[in-house]
Amino acid sequence: MKTQQGNASFKKQYRPSYLRISLSDLKQVRDRLMAYMEHCELCPRKCGVNRLKDEHGVCRSGRNAAVSSYNVHTGEEPPVSGVKGSGTVFFTNCNLHCVFCQNYPISQMGNGKKVTSDELAKYMVELQGRGVHNINLVTPTHVTAQMVEALVLAREKGLRVPLVYNTSGYDSVKVIKLLENIVDVYLPDIKYTDNVLAGKYSGVNNYVENNKLVLKEMYRQVGDSLKLDSSGNVMRGMIVRHLVLPGNQGNSEAALKFIAEELSPKMYISLMAQYHPAYKAEAYTELQRRLTQEEYDSILSVADELLLENGWRQEL
C-alpha cells in the first residue's frame, strides 16, 4: 500500500481545528458534552447514569477521566508517529468488553489513576514540549467530555499541535458531530460487520450500525486524503484500522468492502495482523490461535481486488 507525499507548504498554512474556532465555541461544545454526562449518553450504550455525581455505567468511569499512561509513542502508523513520536494519552476503561483485548489491564481491569481535567491538560502540554507531532487520545469515547474540558485548558496553556482521536469506533454520532471543529485526525477501528460477532466478542449488539454511521461522519468531516507536512507527518485526515481475527475471514472481507463501497476506495487503511490470544480469548476455539499466513494473504487479496491501495499492511 502507499502513502501520498507531504505538501511542503501545508504545515505553514495549517492551524489545528481547536485553534481555528473561538474559545467560546470550544467551551460551548465542552458544556454540551458535560451535559450528556448527567444522564450519560456519551456513547451508544446510553447507560443514563449521572456521571457528574460520579455514578458508573458500563465503562466504569465517573466524573473524572482516568489515565493509565502518557508518553511519546513511535509505534503508530508512520505519518502519526513520524520521527519524533506521537504524544499518546491512554485512557483507562472502555465502553467495549472485547474478550481478546491486548490492553485488557487498562481497558478491562482499570489500571490507571483518576485525573482532573487540569492534570490532563498539563499532560498534553508536557508532551508537546517533548517534541511530539500530535496529541493522540487513545480510547477517548467514554471520556470525550473530559477530553474537551481539558482541551479548553490546554489551549489556554499554549497547546498547538494536531489532535488525534484514536477510537474503537463504537461512538455516538452526535458526539462525533460536535467534534467536527476540534479533532484533526480520526483513527477509528472497524472491528465488526456482524452484530452477532460484536455481541459474542465485545458484549454489544449494535456495534455495526453505529460504527458505519460514525465512520461516514468522520469521512464527511475530513475526507479520504491525508494532509501531510513536508516531513510526512499527518496534520489532518482519517485512517481506518482493522484487526484481522483468525477464523473470521468473512468479517474482514465485509469490512474492506464497506470501506471501498460506502466510504472511499482512496481511504487510508491500516490492516493489522498482530492478533494473539489474550485476556479471555482462550474460551473461544477460533480465537485460541494466531492468524495464519494463508488467512491473512486472502484478506490482502480482497484489498487488492477492491483497489484499496492507500495505507499500511502489517507483516504477520
How many residues does this entry show for the chain? 316
| C-beta of residue 282 within 8 angstroms of C-beta of residue 259 | no
Q: Please give the backbone phi and psi of residue 4, each rounded to the nearest 5 degrees, phi first.
A: -80, 160
10-31+65-313 belongs to which CATH class? alpha beta
The pTM (predicted TM-score) of the whole model is 0.95
The ranges assigned to domains in the chain are 10-31+65-313
Q: Please give the backbone phi and psi of residue 155, each rounded to the nearest 5 degrees, phi first.
A: -60, -40
Question: Which of 202, 210, 84 has its CA nearest to residue 135?
Answer: 84
pLDDT at site 7: 44
Could you tell me the three cell numbers for 223?
A: 475526507
| C-beta of residue 144 within 8 angstroms of C-beta of residue 174 | no
pLDDT at site 12: 55
CA atoms within 13 A on the CB side of 180: 12
What is the distance between the alpha carbons of residues 191 and 164, in angstroms, rounded to a whole number? 19
End-to-end Cα distance, the chain: 15
pLDDT tens digits for range 79-125: 999 999 999 999 999 999 999 999 999 999 999 999 999 999 999 99
What is the distance between the alpha carbons of residues 118 and 251, in angstroms, rounded to a whole number? 41
What is the distance between the alpha carbons of residues 254 and 266, in angstroms, rounded to a whole number? 17
What parts of the chain have a pLDDT lower than 70? 1-13
Could you tell me the three cell numbers for 12?
A: 505553514
pLDDT at site 204: 98
